[in-house]
Chains A and B, each alone.
Chain A
Amino acid sequence: MTKRRWLDVACVGALAALALMTWQIFDPRVWPVMVAMSLGQVLGTVSLAAFAYVVVSDFRAQLRAGRQGVGKKPDGDGDLQSATDEAQSPPLASGPGGGL
């Protein structure tokens, strides 16, 4: 699975977790509260872990690339896209340093 796909899954998982966590506000009965405090938070934590995995593995790939002298700066921010992402993800239209 590409890093991009990991992040997509993390985002969708986090959105589901947020929905579960906010459900209890509108329906404060036993099941919504329990689901919010268990499943919602586990899903949110797993999503954050997936994001952390992508960031850490990207960082390691940059370090590796730097050591091998094949790293390049695709934008002005000093960040490098990992070789995996470049190979498996088409370039996405966005300006330099493109945030959201």
Chain B
Amino acid sequence: MSLLASPLAVLELACAGFSAMILVSYLAFHPPLVRATKLWLLLGLGVFPIGAAFAGNVQGFEATKQRSFCGSCHVMALHQQDSDDPTSGSLAARHARNAMFGDVNCYVCHADYGMFGTVMTKAGGMRHVWLYLTEYRNTPLAEAKKTIRLRAPEQMNGNCMECHSTRDTVWLRVPDHRAALDDVRVGRVSCASEGCHGFAHPFFRPPGERTAG
């Protein structure tokens, strides 16, 4: 069971289990409110639940990085299917087969970097939830394919350059790279565009290039 592979999940379950035992015992026997009872309740209502919440938070933040988490909103199902497909040649799928990206390839490519990158990414994730609730909850998948797009596509090259620095001699040996170097670095030319490395997702189109189907 994958649950046992996560020490945090085990810690959360253990804390929750101890806490539940104390609370159920209290509710069942209703002992007098003496000091010992209060100390037990402090464990059951304070110490163990806080431990469970702490472990659960870290576990939850890790869970939000998983591709399956991103794909649990139906409008992202196609993106997940493509990344899961071992025969797909899309940029997303090829990176998902790289151990550095693996099951968290959505997060690695779409997360903000820098000191506040994680916080900004999580805040952006809340924006996704809000948009899903208000706009996309009932959107058919076919419609979602045409309307969902990157909010700041010009910033995506920065994420590519976290690994592909554009300074490596092998990279610079490619004539197209050399020719578009400045444009790539400032995001005027996207790495993931037609004519370069192709779109990251096979059905993705920038706003101006949406297909009818």
Measured CB to CB, the residues of A under 8 A from B are: 3-4, 7-8, 10-12, 14-15, 17-18, 21-22, 24-26, 28-30, 33-34, 36-37, 40-41, 44, 47-48, 51, 54-55, 58, 74-75, 77-79, 81, 85, 91-92, 94, 97-100
7 of the cross-chain contacts (CB-CB < 8 Å) are: A24-B60, A29-B72, A30-B73, A47-B49, A51-B45, A94-B31, A97-B36
Contacts of B12 in A (CB 8 A): 21-22, 25
How big is chain B's contact interface, by range?
35 or more
The proximity string for B residues 7-31 relative to A, scoring 1 for CB distances below 8 Å and 0 otherwise, is 0010011001001101111110111
Among A11, A85, A97, the one with the most B-chain Cβ atoms within 10 Å of its Cβ is: A11
Question: Residue of B at shortest CB range from A41?
Answer: B53
Expressed in whole angstroms, the minimum distance between the Cβ of B137 and any Cβ of chain A is: 11
Docked complex Cα distance between A48 and B36 (Å):
17
Does B158 lie at the interface of the complex (its beta carbon under 8 Å from any beta carbon of A)? no
Does B100 lie at the interface of the complex (its beta carbon under 8 Å from any beta carbon of A)? no
**Among B32, B33, B45, B69, which residue has its beta carbon within 8 angstroms of that of A30?**
B69
Docked complex Cα distance between A49 and B107 (Å):
36
Question: Residue of A at shortest CB range from B41?
Answer: A51
